[in-house]
Chain A
Amino acid sequence: MRKFALKWAVLGVPALIAAGCATYPDPATTRQIAEGMVKEGFTASPGHAKRLVQDRSQQICSKIAGAPLTQEEAAEVVKLARASMRYPASGKLAGDWKIGNKLAHDGAGDRILRGKLEKRKENGGLCQNCHALAPGEINVGNVGPALTGYGLQRGASEAVVKLTYERIYNGWAYVPCSNMPRLGATGHLTPEQITHMVAYLLDPQSPINQR
């Protein structure tokens, strides 16, 4: 494009250049423009504005129009995810399925409206928004895979418990850049809350594992 513009300038048709040379900005310019728009695009206290800043993994995972991750990028996201893992102080990764059941059906918490943070004792787990849960539940989303019978298929061995915990805490350790929010790593849920959701998914008593 630059070369093209130069040629026309030499030919002395500056008006044509002005009219004819408007074109798509390159990726670096696009990024600069768009990030500037994000900075100016919200009214936010400094605390809330932090949510707009991408971490390294989010930057990698924002590929335009499904462009594939390179192997290096995928590896970096997995590495960052592994490094992000935190576990509850108790060391116990499976908590109370009844609390987990409640959390799984709670889509509220931490939203910002007119500068005010939604008042909640704790954030909901958001599961119901995207996943089918116990058999017969109608008001469930399908953006993520159905979790119905999750524990029936997998059992509740120590390895399964740990895997389940980590996939909720930061699923990008297993599927880099998946649509699943890194619920623990981003701070939406606490490690303790996640243990209850693990129990909800794996406990044979849990409604999700009833036939």
Chain B
Amino acid sequence: MPSIVGGIAAFIVCLAAAGVAPALAQSGDPLGVGRRMLAEDNPGDLWIDRGKALFHQKRGPQNASLEGCDFGMGPGKLEGAAARLPRYFADTDRVQDLETRLITCMVRLQGFKEADIVRRAISPGGSSGSDVEALALYITSRSNGMKVDVTLSHQKEYDAYKAGEYLFFRRSGQTDFGCVQCHGEAGKRIRLQDLVHMTDKKGVQEVASTWPAYRGAHFVVRTMQWRLTDCFWQMRLPDMKYGSDMSIALILYLNHEGNGVVIRVPGFKR
């Protein structure tokens, strides 16, 4: 993560060398040109096939595939499933996001140890990525072209929604930051990095429709759980527990606010 500043600097040098620099003065989005160029050929697409293979392959101590996994639309039904997550699942009595639901299946169907999967879920930058990252992308890609449609019906979904909202605005730590301090206004940046305006419908729809995403600076596909973890790190808070109810509440809140947007993954992030 410390390489990010260097990465940005290198990126600017590249843009300047390519003759893009003169356009910067006129554009309110100095890195947008380069980002759009890169997004047209998204390396994250390669992860989809890998995730698909992992999904159908018999794996784990129980030598089973994930074809029996129920993401809320019935066992093995992936079309549109990610568009409705997070949601309440009776068999775990929990609101789950895509990643925690996936891990439930990897444990229950395939016999993997939860702690082992969680430890490896977020891969090191520059690695070939984790199984969870590839699977999460593949499963979400089966909702590509469909609209995000998170609905609240179970009491725990209502609770998670309100908790997520509360958490978005909750300030703590030595930076006094909540999410909204960086993501509450249009056109804001941390250094050169654009910040998504999440209290705006269009902004929050970007969040709800572009994860998992290929992260250029890390050369891997990243998930929403990673995104939150990294934010908390910058906020100087302790390590977020992967798949915690807190993370799921935030994701449910954001996705719900983004309802109606068409999913297009993998997203591309600088």
Q: Is the CB of A41 within 8 A of B240?
A: yes
Query: In whole angstroms, how far apart are the Cα atoms of A188 and B174 in the complex?
Result: 6
B128 within 8 A of A: no
Q: Is the CB of B158 within 8 A of A143?
A: no
Query: In whole angstroms, how far apart are the Cα atoms of A110 and B234 in the complex?
Result: 9
B60 within 8 A of A: no
Query: In whole angstroms, how far apart are the Cα atoms of A107 and B238 in the complex?
Result: 17
Contact of A52 among B8, B158, B238 (CB under 8 A): B238
Query: In whole angstroms, how far apart are the Cα atoms of A51 and B217 in the complex?
Result: 29
The interface bits of chain B over 225-262 (1 if a CB of A lies within 8 angstroms of the residue's CB, else 0) are: 00000001110111111001111010000000000000
B195 within 8 A of A: yes
Q: Is the CB of B158 within 8 A of A22?
A: yes
The interface bits of chain A over 165-202 (1 if a CB of B lies within 8 angstroms of the residue's CB, else 0) are: 00000000000000111100011100000000000000
| Residues of chain B at interface, number, CB under 8 A | 56
Q: Is the CB of B191 within 8 A of A140?
A: yes
Closest residue on chain B to residue A179 by CB atoms: B181
Q: Is the CB of A65 within 8 A of B246?
A: no
Which of A2-10, A30-38, A87-95, A146-154 lies on the face that meets chain B?
A30-38
Q: Is the CB of B245 within 8 A of A112?
A: no
A53 within 8 A of B: yes
Q: Between A and B, how many residue pairs show CB distances below 8 Å? A: 165
Query: In whole angstroms, how far apart are the Cα atoms of A157 and B197 in the complex?
Result: 39
Query: In whole angstroms, how far apart are the Cα atoms of A54 and B161 in the complex?
Result: 21
A61 within 8 A of B: yes
Which residues of A lie under 8 Å from residue B185 when comparing CB positions? 143
Query: In whole angstroms, how far apart are the Cα atoms of A180 and B177 in the complex?
Result: 9
Q: Is the CB of A143 within 8 A of B247?
A: no
Q: Is the CB of A33 within 8 A of B162?
A: yes
Q: Is the CB of B176 within 8 A of A38?
A: no
Q: How far is the CB of B198 from chain A (nearest CB, A)?
A: 12
B110 within 8 A of A: no
Contact of B188 among A29, A37, A110, A141 (CB under 8 A): A141
Q: Is the CB of A30 within 8 A of B163?
A: yes
Contact of A143 among B176, B189, B192 (CB under 8 A): B189
A210 within 8 A of B: no
The interface bits of chain A over 25-56 (1 if a CB of B lies within 8 angstroms of the residue's CB, else 0) are: 10001110110011011111100110111100
Q: How far is the CB of B38 from chain A (nearest CB, A)?
A: 19
Known: A31-B166, A34-B249, A51-B174. A142 touches B153 (CB 8 A): no
Query: In whole angstroms, how far apart are the Cα atoms of A187 and B184 in the complex?
Result: 25
Which residues of A lie under 8 Å from residue B169 when comparing CB positions? 62-65
A136 within 8 A of B: no
A211 within 8 A of B: no
A111 within 8 A of B: yes
Q: Is the CB of B234 within 8 A of A41?
A: no
Q: Is the CB of A64 within 8 A of B158?
A: no
Q: In the complex, which residues 115-150 of chain B have their Cβ closer than 8 Å to any Cβ of chain A?
A: none
Q: Is the CB of A42 within 8 A of B237?
A: yes
Q: Is the CB of A111 within 8 A of B234?
A: yes
Which residues of B lie under 8 Å from residue A83 when comparing CB positions? none
Q: Is the CB of A64 within 8 A of B166?
A: yes
B165 within 8 A of A: yes
Query: In whole angstroms, how far apart are the Cα atoms of A22 and B157 in the complex?
Result: 9
Q: In the complex, which residues 158-188 of chain B have their Cβ closer than 8 Å to any Cβ of chain A?
A: 158-159, 161-163, 165-167, 169-178, 181-182, 184-185, 187-188
Contact of A51 among B187, B238, B241 (CB under 8 A): B238
Q: Is the CB of B233 within 8 A of A54?
A: no
Query: In whole angstroms, how far apart are the Cα atoms of A119 and B130 in the complex?
Result: 28
A130 within 8 A of B: yes
Contact of B236 among A19, A111, A140 (CB under 8 A): A111
B2 within 8 A of A: yes
Query: In whole angstroms, how far apart are the Cα atoms of A65 and B162 in the complex?
Result: 12
Extra 17 A-B pairs, beta carbons < 8 Å, given A38-B172, A143-B181: A25-B158, A30-B166, A37-B167, A37-B246, A40-B244, A40-B246, A42-B237, A42-B238, A42-B241, A51-B236, A52-B237, A112-B236, A114-B239, A130-B190, A138-B192, A179-B181, A186-B174
- A-B interface, 4 closest residue pairs, ranked by CB to CB distance from nearest: A41-B246, A44-B238, A37-B246, A34-B163
Please list the residues of chain B having a beta carbon within 8 angstroms of any beta carbon in chain A.
2, 5, 8-9, 12, 30, 152-155, 157-159, 161-163, 165-167, 169-178, 181-182, 184-185, 187-193, 195, 199, 232-234, 236-241, 244-247, 249
